[in-house]
Amino acid sequence: MIRTFDTNICSYILRQQPVAVLQRFARVRPDRIWLSVVVAAELRYGARRLGSARFAAAIEAWLAGFAIRPWTETASHHYACIRHDLEQQGQPIGGMDLLIAAHALAEDSVLVTRNLREFARVPGLAVEDWAIGEEP
């Protein structure tokens, strides 16, 4: 099973360093995980907004451990379908989360997140929350 991580789980790991999540992460083969360029952009923006050189360096070190995949034309098709369907149902999700979900679907990957409420609305998207049971 190939997994990708959304922005909030990455930020949670970087900021809190939760032991159980880090142990689970360590058990996944590096060739079975990747990050969307959208997640990389959001993490870099967050560091820039904080103005913390130390956090920016931590993010760059974190990103260096992943294959960063570009957003693809296939992802754009998933985006269009997901956005249309969720808007028709009156259940839209945030724009960046929509891009990340579409990318995960395009790459046939499980999305690891701390935001199950939002991502669970995306039809066909497999999601996991590795932080369940962790302190907030």
What is d(CA 23, CA 1) in angstroms, rounded to the nearest whole number? 18
Residue 133 lies in a domain: no
Q: What does pLDDT average to over the chain?
A: 94
Which has the higher per-residue pLDDT, 123 or 134? 123
What pTM does this model have? 0.93
The pLDDT assigned to 28 comes to 92
pLDDT category, 132, cuts 50, 70, 90?
A: confident
pLDDT category, 135, cuts 50, 70, 90?
A: low
Residue 135 lies in a domain: no
Specify the number of domains making up the chain. 1
What is d(CA 64, CA 99) in angstroms, rounded to the nearest whole number? 21
Residue 134 lies in a domain: no
Asked whether the predicted pLDDT for residue 79 surpasses 70, the reply is: yes
Asked whether the predicted pLDDT for residue 123 surpasses 90, the reply is: yes
Asked whether the predicted pLDDT for residue 99 surpasses 90, the reply is: yes
The domain of 40 spans 3-128
Beta bridge partners of 3: 33, 110
pLDDT category, 134, cuts 50, 70, 90?
A: low
Which residues contact residue 106 at a Cβ distance below 8 angstroms, ignoring those fewer than 6 apart? 72, 74, 75, 77, 78
CATH number of the domain encompassing residue 43: 3.40.50.1010
pLDDT digits over 28-44, tens only? Answer: 999 999 999 999 999 99
